[in-house]
Structure 1
Amino acid sequence: MPANQLKTLSLAVTSAILLSACSNLEPKPYSEQEARERIVADQLTMYAEQEPVTAPISFYEAAARALKYNLDYRLKLMESALASDLHDVSSHEMLPRVVASAGYAGRNNDSGGTSIGIEDRQQSLRPSTSQERYRDIAGLNMSWSVLDFGVAYYRSQQKADQILMAEERRRRVAQNVLQDVRNAYWRALGAQRLLPQVDRLLQRTEQALSSAREAETQGLLPRQEILAYQRSLLDSVSLLTARRQDLEFAQAELKALMSLPPRSKLILVDDGSEPELPSLAADITRLENLALENRPEIMEEWYRKRVNITDLEIAKAQLWPNVSLELGYNYDSNKYLYNNDWSDTGINVSMNLMRLFQLPSLDSASESQAATDDLRRVALSMAILTQVRVGTLRYQLAQQDMGYADESLRVDQQLLDYAKAASSTSIGSELEVIRAEGRYLLSQYQREAAYSRAQAAWGRLYNSIGLDVLPEEIAQHDIKTLAHEIERTLNAQQGQGMLVSRVPLQGVVNAPAAP
């Protein structure tokens, strides 16, 4: 077969193979089996490598579990690690490029040529070649560009700032996780205390409703009176059922924060006492200064300004002349060469003159970018100051609500005592006792809710100040160590002038549980 026909046939076969491959690039959705395998793998990842729950969980242990196993927080940790790795990659771009190459070259005929005279255009040499058809080649070349070095240097600075930004985002997520845990934990503890009582009272209320309907049928009490009792009992059932749902939601939320399986049993530490609510410092200016100093959002915006400025510095650096240096060693097995290996060096200076017209626009953009970043940070600072002031007011109001809830609980407890003392075997007195128990249990719920709202208000205020949840260095990362460090860190921060003292709640009633 002639060489030209062989070349045409090879080209046709190659084209047919490429077209066949392109025709097979059809959308391919995941199968049901692949989806099931993905679900199982994701569920294993959710709850993988967790320390088992072997004892009731305290608030600090709940915070430790949330910070260690919460998926959002773990994602931010991975983003911080990724930013650090990218910084290492960008720093290597400042080094010279060293390229090693080796290969084999060949052709189906000889490479060569002739020479003609310039004046008479006559051929002066017969056709000749100075290169073998097949030869080995190799080389080791190093090149270094001043412009590439400058750009890589600025990029490395950007990556370093992005590491700091990722760290600020990690701090923000950790602070938000602690706030969410504080909000959910005390609600879940109230649920643990009240749910058994709610269930028992709902059962008794259903029995009382049956008795009231029977008394209505038999005419043992006036119809208007018995209907009023039923209406009161139904209202209590409605309120208790709604409160029961709120309590169950709190437990589910706390499990999700700690990344516990939804069906796992959750038992919280309950020694009958409550931590004392902190007393705020009188000088709100100090709280505002702490917020402006510590809030991760402000620090992230500040670092973002440097990243944006660096982008413009890179654009300006690309306007100036580029100096590149080259040094290399080469080898060619061509037997016609006088020297089969040689070294070469070179220096090159280049500049795109048209880019110089961009300089005024870049200067203007640099000023506008800096002003925009400053204004964004100032606006964020104003919002943060508002959060601190609103958080302070909300916490003070929550403390007042605590006092009202304590007083309501005290009154309903006395009413329950009177109802029990005045009870007899009559249906009306029994219904009155049940109504008093329902009011008392609702007061207990309102008191637990008021305490959890006060803790949540304190958590929002604490979060608005932006203090770190964890110390910078931790010897071990097991749950007990983390819980101890969180407790020690929070107590130390509160003792650094942020708080005046820790005062007991006024008017707290440690009343017995309703039967």
Structure 2
Amino acid sequence: MKSQNYARRMLPAMAMLALLAGCSVEPVPVTKQDLVAMVNLDRQVIDANQEPLDGPVTLDEAMARAVAYNLDHRTRMMEEALALGQANLARYDMLPVLAATAGYVNRDSMNASSSRSLETQRQSLEPSYSTDRDRFTSDIKLSWNILDFGVSYFQSIQTTNNYLIAKMRQKKAMLRLMQQTRTAFWRAGAAQELRGDINRISLEVRETLRDLDKAQTERVQNPASVLQFKRTLLDLLGQLESLDQALGQSEIELKNLLNIDPTTELRLQLPATLVPLAPLGVAIEQLEQVALQNSADVEELVYTRRVEIAEVRKALLRLLPGLEFSAARNSDTNSFLTNQTWTELSSRVTWNVFRVFTIQSQLDIADAREELATARRLAMNMAVVSRLHLSWRRYVDMVSQLRRSEEIEKLELEIAALSKGSVAADAGARIERIRNEVSALRAQLRRFETYANAQDALGQIFLALGLNPVPADFRAMPIKKLAENIGGTMRPWERGMFPDPITLDLPIERQGAK
């Protein structure tokens, strides 16, 4: 008995020591070994479940790999999955609350009490108790609050629409990723096509510089002329290095989009001649409705409006009284109780009367939310149409510039060919030939860049129209199959054959929060 009393007296002291020990925990920094292990594990995860490169990559395969493996796109898909999980979880909040509790109660002395007379202030009852010093209690209670059910219902509507918003954002990110991949592919293609010529001419420039150094040392030529020749060659070498650096960056950008290690060799399968970009034979006014109907931004605002409407209804619902019903099954091992188990039914009404005075303010806020949602939708409609017109205008300009750059390239190549055919062997003629070859290279690069910009403008048109070439089940497709699906869907668009807008004979009814 004494040992039990001692243990009971020590319990508070032991609890205090445990609390103090918890308060003494200090942050532990991550070690370099942990960081190295984490980085190595991340690299393995990044490369896992990714089909290896088995040959030159086409534009369609590049888009397929970007959609399947790009890490930012994976993050968007995970956000969509998380929003769907939250939407499914929110449904359980509408169910009644079923709670079970159990506990043990111990006192170091009896819970005794006495009574005192109100009239005489004398003790009218000797000290007594009706509760055991040790007892176990348990209960299971089912409760349902109608007000909480209504609030949870509108909360579920909000979470399901938030999932749809996340889905639209994932769609926008995927379409933007494909447009970026299209542009990066053609710029990296320019690097692949021109790097050999750049290296060859750079080598010839360095050999000519060595010859000039030798001529300057032996004083076989006019020193002023030699210095001028060297200045020209160094300037040309700087231009070649700038071209090589720009092309190298485009390759790294494409590898990043495809989630390929920058050190991995990537070969692109380019056509023998660049695919002609013909003028689009569709009136842009016909495509405005297509852009508005397919716009993920407009659809996102529709879901956002639903979320706002549900928020207003939640606020108005909280103005009503709350009615709660509950049923509980209880047990208590107290030996003084006649009935140690019993069932309890109850109902109660709660109402914060002062919230009634906020009704007008809530209605005003609801009207303001409605006006704001309408203003946002109208502004987004205008932005979508403007985006389509801008991308269309840019594509027309790029096609015109491409024809001009092709003419300039043809001219520069002819000049370079004539320089190569020259029989003169002096340093001036040699430098002039190199200068012409560098000019021809710049013209070729300019044509590639203009073509890439035209492809970028074409991708911007697809993006403005909201055209999605990726099938819904793309996650289960191998890369080759996915590339075939994407290419087969996009070929008609590239020829100007866009889908027709949806037309309705009946007026469109305004959708509510459901």
TM-score, reference length from structure 1: 0.88
**Could you say if the C-alpha distance between residues 200 and 55 of structure 1 is closer, same or farther in structure 2, counting changes exceeding 3 Å?**
same
Q: Are 1:471 and 2:471 an aligned pair?
A: yes
Name the residue aligned to 1:159. Answer: 159
Contact 2:188 2:254 in 1 (8 A): yes
Name the residue aligned to 2:512. Answer: none
Q: Are 1:294 and 2:298 an aligned pair?
A: no
One-letter code aligned to 1:480? K
One-letter code aligned to 1:166? A
Name the residue aligned to 1:240. Answer: 240
Give 1:444 deviation, angstroms: 1.6
Q: How does 1:403-442 map to 2 (within 5 A)?
A: 403-442=403-442
Q: Are 1:457 and 2:453 an aligned pair?
A: no
Give 1:16 deviation, angstroms: 4.5
Contact 1:61 1:483 in 2 (8 A): yes
* Distance (whole Å) between structure 2 residues aligned to residue 11 and residue 139 of structure 1: 27
Name the residue aligned to 2:190. Answer: 190
**Could you say if the C-alpha distance between residues 138 and 422 of structure 1 is closer, same or farther in structure 2, counting changes exceeding 3 Å?**
same
CA RMSD of aligned residues (A): 2.9
Deviations 1:358-407 (A, max 9, x none): 11111111111222222223223323322221211111111111111111
Give 1:149 deviation, angstroms: 0.3
Name the residue aligned to 2:381. Answer: 381
Give 1:440 deviation, angstroms: 2.0
Name the residue aligned to 2:67. Answer: 67
* Distance (whole Å) between structure 1 residues aligned to residue 243 and residue 172 of structure 2: 32
Contact 1:278 1:499 in 2 (8 A): no
Name the residue aligned to 2:56. Answer: 56
Name the residue aligned to 1:512. Answer: none
Any idea what SS the aligned residue of 2:261 has?
A: coil
One-letter code aligned to 1:157? I
Q: Are 1:81 and 2:74 an aligned pair?
A: no
Give 1:203 deviation, angstroms: 0.6
Name the residue aligned to 1:511. Answer: none
One-letter code aligned to 1:256? N
Name the residue aligned to 2:180. Answer: 180
Higher mean C-alpha displacement, 260-269 vs 210-219:
210-219
* Distance (whole Å) between structure 2 residues aligned to residue 496 and residue 267 of structure 1: 29
Contact 2:282 2:496 in 1 (8 A): no
Contact 2:279 2:396 in 1 (8 A): no
* Distance (whole Å) between structure 1 residues aligned to residue 102 and residue 51 of structure 2: 54
Deviations 1:69-93 (A, max 9, x none): 1111111111111111111111000
One-letter code aligned to 2:19? L
Percent identity, please.
29
Any idea what SS the aligned residue of 2:56 has?
A: coil
Name the residue aligned to 1:18. Answer: 19
Higher mean C-alpha displacement, 409-418 vs 75-84:
409-418
* Distance (whole Å) between structure 2 residues aligned to residue 125 and residue 213 of structure 1: 122
Segments of 5+ residues of structure 2 without an aligned counterpart are: 501-514
One-letter code aligned to 1:440? A
Q: Are 1:143 and 2:119 an aligned pair?
A: no
Q: How does 1:87-486 map to 2 (within 5 A)?
A: 87-114=87-114, 127-212=127-212, 214=214, 229-277=229-277, 279-474=279-474, 476-486=476-486
* Distance (whole Å) between structure 1 residues aligned to residue 496 and residue 127 of structure 2: 93
Give 1:232 deviation, angstroms: 4.3
Contact 2:492 2:498 in 1 (8 A): no
Give 1:53 deviation, angstroms: 1.1
* Distance (whole Å) between structure 1 residues aligned to residue 40 and residue 101 of structure 2: 47
Higher mean C-alpha displacement, 204-213 vs 96-105:
204-213
**Could you say if the C-alpha distance between residues 5 and 425 of structure 1 is closer, same or farther in structure 2, counting changes exceeding 3 Å?**
closer
Any idea what SS the aligned residue of 2:48 has?
A: coil
Contact 1:384 1:464 in 2 (8 A): yes
**Could you say if the C-alpha distance between residues 213 and 133 of structure 1 is closer, same or farther in structure 2, counting changes exceeding 3 Å?**
closer
**Could you say if the C-alpha distance between residues 230 and 347 of structure 1 is closer, same or farther in structure 2, counting changes exceeding 3 Å?**
same
One-letter code aligned to 2:16? S
Contact 1:288 1:385 in 2 (8 A): yes
Contact 1:279 1:499 in 2 (8 A): no
Higher mean C-alpha displacement, 123-132 vs 178-187:
123-132
Name the residue aligned to 1:506. Answer: none
Higher mean C-alpha displacement, 185-194 vs 473-482:
473-482
* Distance (whole Å) between structure 1 residues aligned to residue 493 and residue 449 of structure 2: 27
Any idea what SS the aligned residue of 1:51 has?
A: coil
Higher mean C-alpha displacement, 260-269 vs 462-471:
462-471
**Could you say if the C-alpha distance between residues 427 and 342 of structure 1 is closer, same or farther in structure 2, counting changes exceeding 3 Å?**
same
* Distance (whole Å) between structure 2 residues aligned to residue 219 and residue 13 of structure 1: 97
**Could you say if the C-alpha distance between residues 97 and 422 of structure 1 is closer, same or farther in structure 2, counting changes exceeding 3 Å?**
same
Higher mean C-alpha displacement, 450-459 vs 465-474:
465-474
Contact 1:93 1:152 in 2 (8 A): yes
One-letter code aligned to 2:205? T
Higher mean C-alpha displacement, 345-354 vs 490-499:
490-499
Segments of 5+ residues of structure 1 without an aligned counterpart are: 501-515
* Distance (whole Å) between structure 1 residues aligned to residue 7 and residue 332 of structure 2: 30
TM-score, reference length from structure 2: 0.88
* Distance (whole Å) between structure 2 residues aligned to residue 204 and residue 385 of structure 1: 52
**Could you say if the C-alpha distance between residues 339 and 496 of structure 1 is closer, same or farther in structure 2, counting changes exceeding 3 Å?**
farther
Deviations 1:431-460 (A, max 9, x none): 333333222222222221221111112122
Higher mean C-alpha displacement, 417-426 vs 114-123:
114-123
* Distance (whole Å) between structure 2 residues aligned to residue 186 and residue 314 of structure 1: 52
Contact 1:158 1:307 in 2 (8 A): yes
Higher mean C-alpha displacement, 77-86 vs 60-69:
60-69
* Distance (whole Å) between structure 1 residues aligned to residue 380 and residue 450 of structure 2: 31
**Could you say if the C-alpha distance between residues 11 and 101 of structure 1 is closer, same or farther in structure 2, counting changes exceeding 3 Å?**
closer
Contact 1:471 1:489 in 2 (8 A): no
